[in-house]
Amino acid sequence: MTEKADYYKLILVDDEDEVRGRISSKISKESGFKVVGTAGNGHDALELIEKHSPHVVITDIRMPFVDGLELAGTIKREYPTIRVAFITGYDEFDYAKEAIDLGVRSYLTKPLTQNEVSDFLTKLKGELDDEFRANIQHELMQSRYEDSLPLLIDNSFSLFLSNATSGDSDEIQFLIGHGIVLKKVSRLLYIHVERDEGDPDVFKREKRKISVRTSIKDLLIRRGLPFHHFTYQEGIVFIIEKTGADFRGTLDEALLEAVQTARMYNEARIDIGVSADFKGFDELKRSYLEARRSLADSQFLSTGRIAYFEEMGNSVHNTIVMSDADLKTLDYAVKFGSDENLQSVIHEVRTTLASMDDAPVDYRLYVLNLLSIATGFASSIGVDLTTVCEGDLLETVGRLTGLEQAFDWFYATVSNLRRANLQVKMSNSELLLEKAIAFMSSNFSNPSLNLEQTCDAVGVSVSYLSLLFKKHKDLTFVKYLTGLRLDRAKELLKYSGDRIIEIAEQCGYKDVYYFSHSFKKTVGISPKQYRENQTAI
């Protein structure tokens, strides 16, 4: 909430039409409140609450069907930000303790005078205004927190690389929580800004590093290369996602421009080490070490000071790296193609490499690409790759003795993942919802069944289960439960000879009049008329 509305929304609930009208007439525009709905019972009030999201509900305590205390309890569970006040013409001090437990702090006593209503609303408006100001203060703190996020992200990356932690570490969970998930194949750059031994000014050197970092950010943005970045130890780290048909060519051009820009405009000489492909936080440390190692081992080229990990070592010219086009084609066939289509794509890719079978080549990076595709597919369908591969995954891949064997392993692994996916069609949220619905279907005859009991039964929070009903059923818990009860009622009315009062009890209604009210409101006719219509058919 960044801007306060002109008025606070209010709903009145009382079983007497005259009382509702009298109270509404005493609420003027100048009070700061507007009556957006009125209801004659708690059941109808809940529907209005869902529709209007009011700030305040003023309700009578004693009403038919769902009384004020039950209504206040439901509001506390499902709409905790809504203020509740009671209106009553009875001496109901016995309800005081329960009302306090429900968070009800305000009372109005019938008959109401204009002064009483005005004083009540003035006090209530002051409390709501205070809450609004508190929320504004919270938003200011949130804004300051967001301003500090770049430093917090730098710190989390640095702590992760410094410590012997896994992908479940607090640092990684923080990064994931802020949208940094490293799900795509990427390259890691380690950029070293050379010291000027003749200038001991540390501040000047750090300023130069900031300029270099900013200029590289700008050129990567211009070239459409997605990235994350942070400083670590003495250098600057960029993680760049592989995108585009000619990612390597685009990256080469960008890094060459970065070296030349740093020298020309930032008065800095930089060296850049580039890791092999990687994916996920589990491979982040390895990629960082690859970039540092390639930088340390390289003999810098005169046209640029850029070192790729796969180009270092004696076998640099014999290393097979999967092209971006093949990577995209294989990845697409795995995720969206049929088994026949995948076999055809593998055959085409395999044919282009046939001439290399007998050559002394290093195919490990190529196999890592295949593993990366399989890992990405497993992640996208929510299947643990280790459940379809025998033994240690890295050991299995390490034992592959050629590309033919690598492609056979790749196809078998993808096929196993697809079969496993058939057994995991429902998401975790859908399974939880089905579990909740099964519990409701078995217990809807219990008049006290509510959202809180259902949540306890399936082990989830009230807010989460409410979200699942809204997302997957486009209904609230109460409406879904009412549907279950009335569907059963229609069956009993049609096929049994039970009395209507007995049917109401079997369907979870302790009050036959409330049952009749709900049935007619939903079905359009009374239970008696429904039975007569079915008999006529």
Q: What percent of the chain has pLDDT over 70?
A: 82
189-193, 207-211, 308-312: which has the minimum mean pLDDT? 308-312
Cis peptide before 111 (omega within 30 of 0): yes
pLDDT at position 449 is 93
Taking only the tens place, the pLDDT of each residue in 444-462 is: 999 999 999 999 999 988 8
pLDDT at position 275 is 92
Q: Are strands 186-193 and 106-109 parallel, antiparallel or unpaired?
A: unpaired
Mean pLDDT of 128-132: 83
Mean pLDDT of 467-486: 91
State how far Cα 16 lies from the chain centre.
45
Taking only the tens place, the pLDDT of each residue in 18-40 is: 888 888 888 888 889 999 999 98
- Selected residue with higher pLDDT from 323 and 392: 323
pLDDT at position 76 is 85
- Selected residue with higher pLDDT from 133 and 49: 49
pLDDT at position 439 is 95
DSSP state of 30: G
Dihedral-angle region of residue 375 (phi above 0 means left; psi in -120 to 50 means alpha; beta otherwise): alpha
Compute the CA torsion angle 344, 347, 351, 356 (nearest 10 deg). 150
Token readout for 15 is: 């079983």
Nearest to 230 by CA among 295, 176, 160: 160
Identity of the highest mean pLDDT range in 43-47, 160-164, 363-367, 423-427 = 43-47
Q: Which residues contact 136 (CB under 8 A, 6 or more apart)?
A: 1, 2
pLDDT at position 479 is 92
Nearest to 362 by CA among 332, 324, 317, 329: 317
Q: E strands along 161-221, which residues? A: 186-193
Tally Cβ neighbours within 10 Å of residue 171.
21
Dihedral-angle region of residue 380 (phi above 0 means left; psi in -120 to 50 means alpha; beta otherwise): alpha
Taking only the tens place, the pLDDT of each residue in 350-382 is: 887 765 544 445 566 788 888 889 888 888 887
Banded pLDDT at 2 (limits 50, 70, 90): very low
Give yes or no for a contact between 208 and 266, defined as CB atoms under 8 angstroms apart: yes
Taking only the tens place, the pLDDT of each residue in 495-532 is: 888 999 999 999 999 989 999 999 999 999 999 999 98
Nearest to 20 by CA among 63, 82, 78: 63
Nearest to 231 by CA among 259, 175, 193: 193
Nearest to 70 by CA among 44, 94, 108, 102: 102
Compute the CA torsion angle 478, 481, 486, 491 (nearest 10 deg). 170
pLDDT at position 263 is 84
Taking only the tens place, the pLDDT of each residue in 141-194 is: 656 655 667 788 888 888 888 775 555 678 888 888 878 888 899 999 999 887
Token readout for 511 is: 């009050």
pLDDT at position 362 is 58
Within 53-94, where are the H helices?
A: 68-78
Q: Return the amino acid letter for 520.
A: K
Taking only the tens place, the pLDDT of each residue in 67-122 is: 888 888 888 888 888 888 887 765 555 565 566 666 676 677 777 788 888 888 88
Taking only the tens place, the pLDDT of each residue in 430-447 is: 888 999 999 999 999 999
Q: For 388-435, what is the HEC assignment?
A: CCCCCHHHHHHCCCCHHHHHHHHHHHHHHHHHHHHCCCCCHHHHHHHH
51-55, 64-68, 122-126, 313-317: which has the minimum mean pLDDT? 313-317
What order of strands is seen across the sheet that includes strand 306-308?
A: 227-232, 235-241, 186-193, 270-274, 306-308
112-121, 290-299, 323-332: which has the minimum mean pLDDT? 290-299
pLDDT reading at 224 higher than 80: yes
pLDDT at position 124 is 86
Q: E strands along 164-298, which residues? A: 186-193, 227-232, 235-241, 270-274
pLDDT at position 353 is 74
Mean pLDDT of 120-144: 76
- Selected residue with higher pLDDT from 305 and 395: 305
**Whole-Å CA distances, 102 to 66, 69, 76, 479, 490:** 15, 8, 6, 23, 35
Residue 274, SS3 per DSSP: strand
Nearest to 477 by CA among 31, 47, 119, 18: 47
Query: Distance between CA atoms of 207 and 301, rounded to whole angstroms?
Result: 27
- DSSP letters, 120-137, are HHHHHHHHHHHHHHHHHH
